[in-house]
Chain A
């Protein structure tokens, strides 16, 4: 009897000690080069600083998994990297924990967090980390006089060959309108009318037969490398990674880019909520965001990070700034994905897009 209670005592005290000294959270992100950049810039420094482990998991975006975990009351994820639209939708549906923005520290240069983060990157339930963009890219070895503008992407006469596009209406409709001559500022105004949507689909019709549709972010660089397409829309970080890490001869066309942000959000009922909050605050500090930018060409959402962004992690000659979506030279004709507009219209446009694709 004595021995038994002693054993229980020892066992429970070790449990408490181990829980306090080395916790572990499950961080879920998009995989590939992007997750790698987070592991290097956030996870490893956090583990070094606090001793807590970060288990990395991949997913393909969307709220399906979070929703089924929360609704089944069996949440296994502690923190998830989500798009702005999903952060807002999920918050409205009560799938994410609310965030107290006041716990975010000031930037390294002393700017308070509320001014340091670029606008709209802190929401009720999520804190932004990077700005990413959908651009289009081509292989300059095959096309030395490559396309320069969004309109060129839709120009089959001067630039014949297959194109890669993301399967789905977003952001193809925006790009189609910009290619059709709609100024960036007016894209969503035009799209809000019946005629505007018709116009976007009509523009897509002109290249429909030459399109290879992709879904996962890893596909476009592969399609381009295989010669399956001559140009393709893609996430800018994936193309940058193919160029910087694999030496592929790809060129990015920034005209008509549609940028968006990614945020950390914590599923409601996450098993290690407090640790996840700590991790969220740590990873969105100036230094960590700047460090991430040396691994992938996504722009930090803190303005104070810009000064610390230098070159690619293993190539000192490769300056990162010109490869960021937010670099002034790249930013001349750009729009931000309008999540509120998409939240209102995505059901109908998804249907219409799918029907259009099947015809």
Chain B
């Protein structure tokens, strides 16, 4: 066999392969140039802020920045032995400085999260700190007895960790102790695991409900003549264009005790006038309102996939002897799976982070994890815990996404 192959060359003498690569590279560069504004936009206004925020879930330099001496000496403390005079001396130095720099409030807030009642301990002691004399253990004890209690020092030790798993542990109802061990939170303060489970449960039910409701609507729209189906499409889109708040408050008017639905139930004898159904301000209300609000996200992808399915497949199945049901179930439905997958994952992901609707109609058993993230962002100002909860939620979603990819396959998803 002759192995000599003449390299193909272009008119200017460069090898064709090289020329092709050059031109492909140029194309890629151009494509990259076109998407780069979006990429940069996403990077700086979406990825970076989220990453920085989530970072706070494990990074908390507040205490060690504001109380440097105490933090240094606490690093060598084992968390169980009696605090030494050196530790008390370091504490007084920091308290004097914190008072001078007006940062004592931040320190007090941080330690108070670990141990209730320490806020006033810090703020009131700091006011007198500059007048304290050695031995400091004795003089601090005279100001407040709490200073010689080991719990106070353990709380400071936990607060002094710059890189900490404490907040993630708290987001999972565990507690980081001063000696580095992690134990479960006291029973009457456990809440987050329950909320994560409830959030997943609500999202799952909402996804299933909107699939059950949305699939027939999409099928109807795909099989009707264009004029009627366009009208239906507008009816699906109309609530989509209405403000989320308006739709949620409309549900309050519909479902409340004296609302439209309950009035109808009473008229038709399903309920007694003085014993009406509780349809709102609980989980039921959240499920109903969220299913309604998220329904278009299910209908539209399924509809767009159904539109592309040629009716000849079902006709062919029937002409080969399949019953109506078999033709539908074995031939038609499998072709809609990409739409169902896209719709389901869209609704599920949106539902898992939902918070306005549960906040308005959730009452006490319809609150979701986002409501508590919001609570810690806006009310308790515990941004670290909020970030840790967000981090856990993100990990859960990524895990579910991975499972989805293994079971259904992400390539199977089709948005239209």
Interface residues of chain A, those whose CB is within 8 Å of chain B, are 60, 62-64, 67, 89, 91-94, 162, 168, 208, 211-213, 215, 226-228, 340, 343-352, 354-359
Partner of A226, one of B191, B256, B365, B378: B256
With A92-B104, A348-B189, A352-B189 already in contact, 13 other A-B pairs whose C-beta atoms are closer than 8 Å:
A62-B379, A62-B381, A91-B105, A92-B123, A93-B103, A213-B364, A227-B258, A228-B256, A228-B257, A343-B112, A349-B116, A354-B372, A354-B375
Interface residues of chain B, those whose CB is within 8 Å of chain A, are 102-106, 108-109, 112-113, 116-120, 123, 188-191, 194-195, 198, 256-258, 281, 359, 363-365, 367, 372, 375, 377-382
Q: How distant is B113 from chain A, measured CB to nearest CB, in Å?
A: 5
Q: How distant is B282 from chain A, measured CB to nearest CB, in Å?
A: 10
Q: How distant is B295 from chain A, measured CB to nearest CB, in Å?
A: 26
**A101 CA / B195 CA spacing, docked (Å):** 47
Partner of A212, one of B118, B123, B363, B380: B363
**A162 CA / B280 CA spacing, docked (Å):** 13
Q: How distant is A251 from chain B, measured CB to nearest CB, in Å?
A: 20
Closest residue of A by beta carbon distance from B190: A355
Max chain A C-beta neighbours (<10 A), residue from B103, B188, B372? B188
Enumerate chain A residues within 8 angstroms of B106, measured Cβ to Cβ: 92-94
Closest residue of B by beta carbon distance from A59: B378
Enumerate chain B residues within 8 angstroms of A93, measured Cβ to Cβ: 103, 105-106, 109
Closest residue of A by beta carbon distance from B108: A92
Enumerate chain B residues within 8 angstroms of A356, measured Cβ to Cβ: 188
Enumerate chain A residues within 8 angstroms of B190, measured Cβ to Cβ: 355
**B281 & A212 in contact (Cβ 8 Å cutoff):** yes
Enumerate chain A residues within 8 angstroms of B379, measured Cβ to Cβ: 62, 64, 168, 350
Q: A62-B378, A63-B381, A228-B257 are in contact. Are A344 and B365 (CB under 8 A)?
A: no
Closest residue of A by beta carbon distance from B379: A62
**A67 & B381 in contact (Cβ 8 Å cutoff):** yes
State the majority secondary structure of interface residues on A.
helix
**B119 & A64 in contact (Cβ 8 Å cutoff):** no
Interface pairs A-B: 6 shortest CB-CB: A92-B105, A93-B105, A348-B116, A355-B191, A64-B378, A227-B258
**A63 CA / B105 CA spacing, docked (Å):** 13
Enumerate chain A residues within 8 angstroms of B372, measured Cβ to Cβ: 354
Enumerate chain B residues within 8 angstroms of A63, measured Cβ to Cβ: 381
Enumerate chain A residues within 8 angstroms of B119, measured Cβ to Cβ: 343-344
Max chain A C-beta neighbours (<10 A), residue from B104, B375, B378? B378
Max chain B C-beta neighbours (<10 A), residue from A343, A344, A347? A347
**B281 & A94 in contact (Cβ 8 Å cutoff):** no
A-B contact pairs, 22 of them (CB 8 A): A64-B379, A64-B381, A92-B102, A92-B105, A92-B123, A93-B103, A94-B106, A162-B257, A208-B364, A215-B359, A227-B257, A228-B281, A343-B120, A344-B116, A344-B117, A344-B119, A344-B120, A347-B113, A351-B191, A352-B188, A355-B188, A355-B189
Partner of A358, one of B109, B191, B381: B191
Closest residue of A by beta carbon distance from B115: A348
Q: How distant is B356 from chain A, measured CB to nearest CB, in Å?
A: 12
Q: How distant is B119 from chain A, measured CB to nearest CB, in Å?
A: 5
**A228 & B258 in contact (Cβ 8 Å cutoff):** yes
Enumerate chain A residues within 8 angstroms of B120, measured Cβ to Cβ: 340, 343-344
Enumerate chain B residues within 8 angstroms of A213, measured Cβ to Cβ: 281, 363-364
Enumerate chain B residues within 8 angstroms of A350, measured Cβ to Cβ: 379-380
**B117 & A94 in contact (Cβ 8 Å cutoff):** no
Max chain B C-beta neighbours (<10 A), residue from A92, A346, A349, A350? A92
Enumerate chain B residues within 8 angstroms of A347, measured Cβ to Cβ: 112-113, 116, 380, 382
**A348 CA / B363 CA spacing, docked (Å):** 22
Q: A62-B378, A67-B381, A212-B363 are in contact. Are A354 and B191 (CB under 8 A)?
A: yes
Enumerate chain A residues within 8 angstroms of B359, measured Cβ to Cβ: 215
Closest residue of A by beta carbon distance from B191: A355
Q: A344-B120, A345-B116, A355-B189 are in contact. Are A94 and B367 (CB under 8 A)?
A: no
Q: How distant is B79 from chain A, measured CB to nearest CB, in Å?
A: 21
Enumerate chain B residues within 8 angstroms of A354, measured Cβ to Cβ: 191, 372, 375
Max chain B C-beta neighbours (<10 A), residue from A91, A168, A359? A359
Q: A92-B108, A345-B116, A347-B116 are in contact. Are A358 and B123 (CB under 8 A)?
A: no
Q: How distant is A205 from chain B, measured CB to nearest CB, in Å?
A: 12
Enumerate chain A residues within 8 angstroms of B103, measured Cβ to Cβ: 93-94
Enumerate chain A residues within 8 angstroms of B123, measured Cβ to Cβ: 92
Enumerate chain B residues within 8 angstroms of A343, measured Cβ to Cβ: 112, 119-120
